[in-house]
Structure 1
Amino acid sequence: MDREPAVATELAEWASERIRRPRATDDVSDVREKATPADIVTDTDEAVEAHVRAVLRREFPEYGIEGEEYGVHEGTKGAPHWVIDPVDGTTNYAHGIGWCSFSLGLASPQGVPLLGVVADPWRREIFTATRGGGAHLNGRPIRAAAHDTLTGHVFMTEWAAHAHWPGLDDLLRELSSRHCTVRVMGSTALSLVQVAAGRATAAAIGEFHPVDALPPLLIATEAGAVAIPELPAYDTPLLLAAPGVADEATALWRETVLR
């Protein structure tokens, strides 16, 4: 890959600026319900994805595209495909809570992550990775935490929109007994990528969706984190853990989520 990382990073910078534009938090005229009241979209989601798709189709016309808001554009047979979540954490964004992200990834025809970008507009951070090229934060190399226990450290997770997912309650109870501090922040991509930065020692989601989880999966593993499984199927659980706690976290994962 030559041009893909540069184009992806430029799009992340543009999306971050677009998301940061002032918006009246009491103005809900641009918020619309999708599948449920807990599943919403804003004008910003649609505007960001439309722009990103247009640039990607112009720059890489043979590649496919899968986006959160506008579905799938089929590419040339055997070509890679992009995955886009224009605002991951729309509920936070719509309510004026500064924890959401822009997520963009590139995957092989078999779904193997090749490139990942996750942008935090509010902290002006852009996480990037290419397969075999390591992980970076604003251009600086990053590594997963060197911790050797979950105890006393941060474990990130997310609900499935408004609901707990199977095994989550058991997992939370066991983490609590280990004095491991759990955080549910409201953006899958931004939560998972904290493992890459060494801020969270582990993170988990109950349903893997490539549009928001494939980019941070690559970023975290390129930063040295362990993924269980290495490449999850759609709608299946995913665990990310710093290498020193991988055995402990995996055993706990099997006892609670995979049993």
Structure 2
Amino acid sequence: MSDELDRELRVATRLAEWASEVIRRPRGATADPVREKASPADIVTDMDEEIETYVRSLLRGKFPAYGIEGEEYGVHRGEPDAPHWVIDPIDGTTNYAHGIGWCSFSLGLAAPDGTPLLGVVADPWRHEVYTAVRGGGAYLNGTPTRAADHTTLTGHVFLTEWAAHAHWPGMDALLAELSARHCTVRVMGSTALSLAQVAAGRASATAIGEFHPVDSLPALLVATEAGAVALPQRPVYDEPLLIAAPGVAAEATELWRRLVLREG
């Protein structure tokens, strides 16, 4: 790992630990006010904005040439050949706002062409921080982590997420086929954490209907550095993404292409 990448990872990890503490902060009798963004199912709280404001400020101070894209405050353009950060201060705001302990802080660094270079995902409620750098493996709380060695989807967990509040094309057909195979599906409410569970070996696969770098790129890198297989290998914005443990990748890919991508 280069000295600069090591510095970036240390900064990102410290920010993840700080954000986890802030998210766990007792909320008292008055919860954060919830405000709508694009729809009643797309919400933001003061905590989302507080975390992103601090993270953006710190990153701009330490890496002034870099760009930044955040969930709440959009894009700050850096120098043309510089990498850019992607920030989701609370991925799973609906869970957070309703007192459900399943949300995450997500921070990643991407090359100018979008290639993920570094990814950090923090689970405040389980005191877990996933980290990865490109080509350097994946870690959970500093210990190497690997995708599961399952060889079938049957009997294991498959995670997915809504596209905002709605089913995405092919989702119902995929869920029906997984049910027929006795594969248990869960919709947990945080894209970053759902992808990270494949890296931890807890879920055999995770599928999302729309890839957005802000909430998916860091966890995508963590999962693939843990040995998981991504389809497609280079995800496209707003297009579906499948992540699968290597032993179930062929089975999951066949279902994905037939039911979601409608190939063949």
TM-score (norm 2): 0.96
The runs of 5 or more residues in structure 1 that have no matched partner are none
5 Å matches for 1:97-246?
97-246=100-249
Alpha-carbon distance in structure 2 between the residues aligned to 1:5 and 1:241? 25
Alpha-carbon distance in structure 2 between the residues aligned to 1:204 and 1:78? 32
Partner of 1:50: 53
Alpha-carbon distance in structure 2 between the residues aligned to 1:58 and 1:28? 31
The runs of 5 or more residues in structure 2 that have no matched partner are none
* Matched residue type, 1:69: E
Q: Is the CA contact (8 Å cut-off) linking 2:118 and 2:221 kept in structure 1?
A: yes
* Matched residue type, 1:203: T
Partner of 1:21: 25
Number of residue pairs the alignment of both structures matches: 258
Q: What percent identity do the matched residue pairs reach?
A: 77
Give 3-state SS (helix, strand or coil) of 1:136's partner: strand
Partner of 1:5: 9
Report the Cα offset of residue 23 of structure 1.
Answer: 1.3
* Matched residue type, 2:9: P
* Matched residue type, 1:208: F
Alpha-carbon distance in structure 2 between the residues aligned to 1:28 and 1:121? 18
* Matched residue type, 2:7: R
Give 3-state SS (helix, strand or coil) of 1:96's partner: coil
Give 3-state SS (helix, strand or coil) of 1:220's partner: helix
Partner of 2:253: 250
Distance 1:208 1:65, change over 3 A: same
Give 3-state SS (helix, strand or coil) of 1:207's partner: coil
Partner of 2:77: 74
Alpha-carbon distance in structure 1 between the residues aligned to 2:143 and 2:240? 30
Give CA deviations for 1:48-97 in whole Å, capped at 9, x if unaligned: 00000001000100000000000000000110000000000000000000
Give 3-state SS (helix, strand or coil) of 2:238's partner: coil
Report the Cα offset of residue 30 of structure 1.
Answer: 1.8
Report the Cα offset of residue 2 of structure 1.
Answer: 2.7
Q: Is the CA contact (8 Å cut-off) linking 2:95 and 2:101 kept in structure 1?
A: yes
TM-score (norm 1): 0.98
Report the Cα offset of residue 161 of structure 1.
Answer: 1.5
